[in-house]
Amino acid sequence: MTTTTAPMTSAVKGSGYGRTFNFSAGPGVLPEEVIRQAQHDLWDIDGTGIGIMEHSHRGKTFDKVLAETEEACRKVANIPANYKVLFLTGGATSQNFMVPANLLPDEGVAAFLTTGYWAEKTWEESKVYSGKCYEAWDGRATKHSYCPADSELKWGAKPVYVHMCSNNTIYGTQWRNPDGSLRLPKAPDGAPIVCDMSSDIYSRPMDVTKFGMIYAGAQKNIGIAGTTLAIIREDLLKPARKLPTMLKYEVHAKDQSRHNTPPAFAIYMSGLVFKWILKQGGLATLHQKNVEKAKLIYDVLDSSKFYKGHARADSRSLMNITFKTPSEALDEAFLKEAQKHGMEQLKGHRSTGGIRASTYNAFPREGCVALAQLMKDFEKKNG
Ligand SMILES: Cc1ncc(COP(=O)(O)O)c(C=O)c1O
């Protein structure tokens, strides 16, 4: 059987790197070697003469894919044995109901740290399950421009869990220390933290034992749309109420993410990305690279009177960099100019406008250099 592969250099003008600089907030850029491997395995994986998307999810080939994916996933973050690794469907958005359905008893209390657009959605959905939940932080009044200090959090009744979002994709803020490492709120009475890590998972080191549960849609840093990674401490698996089978984490854990036909290709892609992360040197190396990449752009913002960043300096995201020029017309002109230089998907989210540069793990440093240069040139011409 012969294999065919698409040419890996596209006729993109301007970027000078053979592909478009894809600043998309998600689905985001994938590592080149992951795409190359997938191209091959789509046609024939492991010499079986059958492509990855055509294999039974109960067959030996997929058994191996799933086992290797979980193994690499665990290795990347040193996930302890008392945490289950699940590959779910329905996107991170479905966790907005699965988490309270499983963890929050009727009229139980959970606390929410509302730091952005996605965190707002998570909070809203909790009300379906209990009227007693509360927001220990509400960042709406400050336009979600930062992640709060512990002293700003307003705790009420003891929560069964605290929900947070580690990186706010739309506003461009991140729970971080000055060096960009992960900062966590101090949850009251040892309440487990449930974290939506969709837009910064595996971009920096993390201590899984500090969380009750972590979940993330795969399509930004760990693969493609179609699967949601959930890492759950075993004692949280038991559902808090009677639930339909497919809603129970317990069932997905028992059946090792194969209660029904899983998103096999998406899981396979995550496996390739986890292996790629390990090859890069792991999370500490990626974090260092991400800090350097983001700095190239933040340095321009800091030395400019023309651009205005949205995030407060102490909460700046290393994954999504949000800023505006002095007017909407100039924002538009900037985006057009960027396209001429092979840079795409820089438009801010529809709810915030402006410009957003997403610089996930697989985004090349050259793209950040190019954007920083464009920002300087554009300011010189229009400032
Ligand atoms: C932080 C965060 N949470 C949740 C979501 C929603 O994810 P999904 O589209 O996989 O449901 C997104 C999507 O961009 C996100 O950035």
pLDDT in tens, 269-286: 999 999 999 999 999 999
* Ligand 1 and 217: CB distance under 6 A: yes
Separation between Cα atoms, residue 310 and residue 321, nearest integer Å: 8
- Give the pLDDT confidence score for residue 2 in this predicted structure: 46
Ligand 1 atom closest to the CA of 228, numbered from 1: 10
pLDDT in tens, 39-53: 999 999 999 999 999
- The residues that are catalytic are 118, 196, 220
- Give the pLDDT confidence score for residue 16 in this predicted structure: 67
Decide if pLDDT at 17 tops 90: no
* Ligand 1 and 165: CB distance under 6 A: yes
DSSP 18: S
For 266-285, b/e burial (b = at least 16 CB within 10 A) is bbbbbbbbbbbbeeeebbee
- Give the pLDDT confidence score for residue 10 in this predicted structure: 54
- Give the pLDDT confidence score for residue 107 in this predicted structure: 87
Structure confidence at residue 6 as a pLDDT band (50, 70, 90): low
Q: Which residues pair with 137 in a beta bridge?
A: 113
pLDDT in tens, 26-36: 999 999 999 99
Containing H/E element for 299? helix 283-302
Cis omega (within 30 of 0) on the bond before 27? Answer: yes
Alpha-carbon separation of residue 278 from 69, 271, 275, 286 (angstroms): 12, 11, 5, 10
Cα 198 to ligand 1 centroid, rounded to whole Å: 6
- Give the pLDDT confidence score for residue 175 in this predicted structure: 98
Cα 217 to ligand 1 centroid, rounded to whole Å: 6
pLDDT in tens, 91-139: 999 999 999 999 999 989 999 999 999 999 999 999 999 999 999 999 9
Name the residue with the closest Cα to ligand 1, atom 7: 92
Separation between Cα atoms, residue 204 and residue 305, nearest integer Å: 31
Cα 313 to ligand 1 centroid, rounded to whole Å: 24
- Give the pLDDT confidence score for residue 352 in this predicted structure: 86
Name the residue with the closest Cα to ligand 1, atom 2: 198
Domains, the chain, in order of start with CATH, read 52-279 (3.40.640.10), 282-382 (3.90.1150.10)
Question: Is the model more confident about 382 or about 16?
Answer: 382
Separation between Cα atoms, residue 129 and residue 3, nearest integer Å: 51
pLDDT in tens, 325-381: 999 999 999 999 999 999 999 999 988 899 999 999 999 999 999 999 999 999 999
pLDDT in tens, 226-256: 999 999 999 999 999 999 999 999 999 999 9
Cα 6 to ligand 1 centroid, rounded to whole Å: 30
Percent of the chain past pLDDT 70, that is, above it, reads 96
- Give the pLDDT confidence score for residue 3 in this predicted structure: 46
Separation between Cα atoms, residue 120 and residue 326, nearest integer Å: 28
CA 100 and chain centroid, separation? 21
Decide if pLDDT at 12 tops 70: no
- Give the pLDDT confidence score for residue 8 in this predicted structure: 52
pLDDT in tens, 288-305: 999 999 999 999 999 999
- Give the pLDDT confidence score for residue 13 in this predicted structure: 57
| Residue 329 burial (CB count, 10 A) | 9
- Give the pLDDT confidence score for residue 18 in this predicted structure: 82
pTM: 0.96
